[in-house]
A and B are shown apart, each in its own frame.
Chain A
Amino acid sequence: DAGVIQSPRHEVTEMGQEVTLRCKPISGHNSLFWYRQTMMRGLELLIYFNNNVPIDDSGMPEDRFSAKMPNASFSTLKIQPSEPRDSAVYFCASSRTDSGANVLTFGAGSRLTVL
């Protein structure tokens, strides 16, 4: 199993540019989560999907952030326009919610720097 795959691993962009982060969850996992990690705020849940449907996006900071999951094997997190305060490590994680006490498997993360 290749685990949760995220791309790109590093992204440096200028303020105002559009950023798209990608995630491929583990095959057979039916829940997908996007987290943001910063020194100041720690690990914050942005949005999660269950069976490709967004269930809770209350953690999405503002309208500049959007996430999609067009099928069970792919999700994107888009920031448009990006701002310096969006600089963080963005993690995607997946889990199986039909296995009782399910746990998260995280991807390696995408480190975003907005100049």
Chain B
Amino acid sequence: QQPVQSPQAVILREGEDAVINCSSSKALYSVHWYRQKHGEAPVFLMILLKGGEQKGHEKISASFNEKKQQSSLYLTASQLSYSGTYFCGTGNSGSARQLTFGSGTQLTVLP
């Protein structure tokens, strides 16, 4: 079953923060986050495994709450280059073989 992402779209100014949420109705082992720019392929950002860990990539970090079956992606001090569609992929193992992707969150950063 497809994870639910929220919000569907967000517009913010350069330097502002944003949070993108991903929730699943199924028990999760892993959450993958990808970013896709218009007309390009999705690009891997980070993976989180069960244990409630947080990870960071530049000024982008994420958390994973396995009990709530949720993950959140935090974008701090957004840059123009952060614009794109963010997808979470959820799985019941660390493997990419069993990923189910959410419908995406379109993020637009304005100058």
Contacts and interface: CB of A to CB of B under 8 A. Distances in A.
Instruction: State the majority secondary structure of interface residues on A.
Output: strand
A102 B101 contact: no
Interface of A: 31, 33, 42-43, 45, 48, 50, 55-56, 91, 93, 95, 97, 100-109
Contacts of A102: 94-96
17 contacts: A31-B96, A33-B97, A42-B87, A42-B103, A43-B42, A45-B99, A50-B97, A91-B41, A95-B96, A97-B96, A100-B94, A101-B47, A102-B94, A102-B95, A103-B32, A103-B96, A104-B34
A109 B32 contact: no
Interface of B: 2, 30, 32, 34, 40-44, 47, 49, 87, 94-97, 99-104
B97 A42 contact: no
A97 B96 CA distance: 8
A106 B40 CA distance: 10
A66 B42 CA distance: 24
